[in-house]
Amino acid sequence: MSAQQRSEKSIIQKLDLDGYIARFKQFFAREKSVVMMGDINQHYRYIKALSTVQFPPPYDVPNLDREIILLKKQGVLALDEIYAFVKMLSYFNVLAALDLPEPLFSWIKSIQIPQEMSEIVGYFTDDGQINAERDPELFDLERAIKQNKAQIKETLYKLAHSGKLLPYLVDSQVHFNGGEETLLARGGFNNAIKATVAGRSAGGYFYIIPQSISHLKEKEAALLSGKEELIYRYCKKISATFFKWERFISFINKEYDRFDHYQARVSFSRANEYEFILPGKEKRIKLQDFAHPAIDNPVPITMDLNKKIMLVTGVNAGGKTMLLKSMLSAVYMSKYLLPFKCDASRTEVGHYKSIEAVIDDPQSVKNDISTFAGRMVEFAKLFGKEDAIVGVDEIELGTDSDEAASLFRVMLDELRKKGITFIVTTHHKRLASLMASDNEVELIAALYDEAARRPTYTFLQGSIGKSYAFETAERYGIPPSIVAKAKEVYGEDKENLNELIEKSTSLEREMRIKIAGIDEKLLAIEKQKQKLQEEETKLQESHRKAIATLENRYNAATKKAQEALKAKESTEGRRLLNEAYQRKTFTSKEVKLEAQEPLKEGDKVKYRSHKAQLLAVRGNDATIIVDGLKMRVPLSQLKKAGETPQIKAAPKAKKTDVTVQRTGASVSVKVLGMYADEAIAKVDKFLSDALVNGLNEVQIIHGTGSGVLAKLITEYLKNHPKIEKFYRMPGNLGITIVEL
């Protein structure tokens, strides 16, 4: 046994996991260590994938390392040894026929069995023998052996029922002794038959082989020898093929072990309703409803250790040691992806390079070492380790508690700097009081039910627990008078001092927790303030863009008006254009939102760029009439139309002839290069004009570009109430076809 195997066995025993590991190993197809080499994240993916499917259990095969070494030396394997390899090949053929999820499918598919090896699989029957149907010579030998055995049995049956021999026989059955067919006879049988004695029974009788079947026995021996010679030729031939494919044989042997690791874990998990926990990078142990597998009907443990040291104090026999073993056991089982009972959705376990348990009392005559000296030896070894988790039970065991508390305080401080996490149990208050003010120390108290006078096997974080030594002694049968006298000797002052230590430590930790809570609230307020400032900046930028867009629209409109006036001069047009220029100058402060009065039937309203009359209101929808066309639109998109001032037209100049003509709506619109809000507004007006003019199909030309403008137009069209459907033009994704 290697040093690593001895260390693994030791930690399993210390954590009371030996029974759990023994039960788990029963699911292996062959004996091996529970440790899996390689990438644990990859192993976890394969295990989770295998957990989703049903699969046949793998065939039981022995360890074949010796056989592989023999093959490398061109040795000849026995038939049962060859069949062990054949069973592994056959099982991978079975897996290849299953509908496996990824990444299992790709892995099994990558295992390509050579044609020569596949042919060897076909040589064998299900019981591991060469298939006689494939070899006429073997078939004839087996048939001859079978016929010869039948003749032997028939001859013995006749002798057992012959009147001459019957008085000397114990019974008329055929007995097997040492693989030979015999008759069981009393003394004096040689007066009735010539036979050879094959052995004696417990009752003093004789197993005899009659000479009349001696020639049949000789024939059987010759036939069996011929069969063995033929089987040896097969073994020699197959071993030579295995030597040729020795690397593949070694590979398939390792892959079979790999799958065996996966299937054993999945089958074990299913049998016990256990969960898998993948170790995380964070050095933390967060258990939710954890149950140590060695305890029947355990009290579930819920514990969160995210600091460097956990210090467990409190009642005797209250579960402190089991808490320590449970925390380390969770680390061990998750480290090797062994399933256990817990709430997996709320359980987290960090990855540690090594696990150490300083639990046993090292004192013995054989060791010639004291308890405290043994503890020092164990701690001395820890200074050579890094990234470990260490459990220490009864840390001050074997020496003065005050001196030990000071010593262990310093050692724990130094060792945690090397990345070592500690779980420590103690009955003494001195070490707890020394370390209570440290932010990297988590205090845990084992709770005691004083009314029922027994431990609860539950724990409270952030507190120091009493040992309840007197109560425990009385519960286990010490006379009350003895306990009362011990309390007097102990002294009231000492008890008060312990209570003072417990209260002061608890108050200090409560104060630190409250300060930490205030700091968190201040941080949250600061983050909220920063978020509001960012939102304010975004709103200001949005407002600036809105004003810029309005100015762009105004400039475009006035430009078109100027171009129209150049074509036909109009004094009234010039006056209105000057008035528009005067009204252009406004600031963002002048923009105010006015509350809109509720709309009612008969009101004149504005729908987008059209004037309309409200006919009816139903829920969130309204029916309006626009230029003689009834439409049903969302009520939120309607605005009450204001009084439109009547402007008296100036007398027409005699030489000016202005004609207003209504034009038809266009079947397409271009929004290339426009801002989002500008493009949506143009599309909105374009679709409204198309609806008013009765168009059935129109085009929106937005181009491809980065796709942002096309996406915005698509979202707008989805919510439009009058669009039957829309789609991109085949062959030109820059144009959207809209059917109205």
* Domain at 224, CATH number: 1.10.1420.10
- Same structural domain, 297 and 412: yes
Say yes or no: 268 and 342 in one domain: no
467 or 598: which leads in pLDDT: 598
Does 336 map to a domain?
A: yes
Specify if 511 maps to a domain.
Answer: no
Q: What angle do CA 514, 519, 520 make, to 5 degrees?
A: 95
Separation CA 592–CA 239 (nearest Å): 95
What value does the mean pLDDT take over residues 587-612?
67
Half-sphere exposure of 533 (CA within 13 A, CB side): 6
- Whether omega for the bond prior to residue 103 falls within 30 degrees of 0, making it cis, is yes
Closest to 316 measured CA to CA, from 174, 425, 193, 214:
425
Of 490, 507, 531, the residue at which a domain comes to its end is 490
Domain range holding 98? 3-114+245-272
Question: Is 524 domain-assigned?
Answer: no
Q: Are residues 161 and 256 in the same domain?
A: no
| Domain identity same for 220 and 249 | no
User: Tell me, what amino acid is at 654?
Assistant: K
Q: Where is the domain boundary, 640, 673, 693?
A: 640
- Which residue is associated with the tokens 């070899």? 135
- Does one domain contain both 219 and 95? no
> 209 and 141 in one domain?
yes
pLDDT, greater one: 628 or 236: 236
**Numbers of helices and strands, H then E, in the chain:** 20, 22
Do 330 and 476 lie in one domain? The reply is yes
Residues 216, 331 within the same domain: no
List the one residue out of 266, 262, 256, 268 whose CA is nearest residue 26: 268
pLDDT band at 369 (very low <50, low <70, confident <90, very high): low
| Segment 520-529 mean pLDDT | 87
Q: What is the pLDDT of residue 586?
A: 45
Predicted confidence (pLDDT) per residue in 430-462, tens digit: 777 777 778 888 888 777 665 565 666 777 776
- The pTM for the full model equals 0.61
Looking at the fold, whether 256 and 340 belong to one and the same domain comes out as no
Domain boundary among 432, 458, 490: 490
On whether residue 678 sits in a domain, the answer given is yes
Give me the CATH number covering residue 348.
3.40.50.300
Residue 595 structure tokens: 């509350």
Phi, psi of 341 (to 5 degrees): -85, 125
Written as six digits, the tokens of 494 are 């000492």
CA dihedral (32, 34, 35, 38) in degrees, to 10, reads 80
Q: How many CA atoms lie within 13 A of 448 on its CB side?
A: 21
Under 8 Å between Cβ of 319 and 457: yes
Which position has the higher pLDDT, 370 or 384?
384
Strand order in the sheet with 725-729: 668-670, 697-701, 732-739, 725-729
Q: Which of 452, 395, 408 is nearest to 434 (CA)?
A: 408
Indicate the number of domains in the chain. Answer: 5
Domain assignment present for residue 371? The answer is yes
Residue 42 lies in a domain: yes
Q: What is the pLDDT of residues 93-143, one digit of tens each?
A: 999 999 999 999 999 999 999 999 999 999 999 899 999 988 999 999 999
The whole-number pLDDT of residue 372 equals: 76
User: Which tokens sit at 658?
Assistant: 């202005």
Residue 680, domain member (yes or no): yes
- Rounded to an integer, the average pLDDT of 219-245 is 94
Is residue 148 located within the same domain as residue 96?
A: no
Is residue 614 very low, low, confident or very high in pLDDT (cuts 50, 70, 90)?
confident
**Would you mind telling me the total number of residues written for the chain in this entry?**
740
Q: Which has the higher per-residue pLDDT, 486 or 739? A: 739
So what's the pLDDT on residue 593? 43
In sequence order, which residues have a C-beta less than 8 Å from that of residue 625 and are 6 or more positions away? 612, 613, 615, 631
Are 161 and 97 within one domain? no
Task: Enumerate residues 6+ apart whose C-beta is below 8 A from 57.
Answer: 29, 263, 267
Q: What is the pLDDT of residue 568?
A: 54
- Residue 505 in any domain: the answer is no
Residues 235 and 76 sit within 8 Å (Cβ to Cβ): yes
Beta bridge partners of 638: 607
Question: Going by DSSP bridges, is the β-strand pair 388-392/354-358 parallel, antiparallel, or unpaired?
Answer: parallel
Mean pLDDT value across the chain: 82
CATH number for 609: 2.30.30
Claim to verify: residue 222 and residue 255 sit in the same structural domain: no
Query: Euclidean distance between the first and final Cα of the chain, in Å?
Result: 83
Confidence tier at 25 by pLDDT (50, 70, 90) = very high
Edge-first strand order for the sheet with 621-626 is 629-634, 621-626, 610-618, 604-607, 638-640
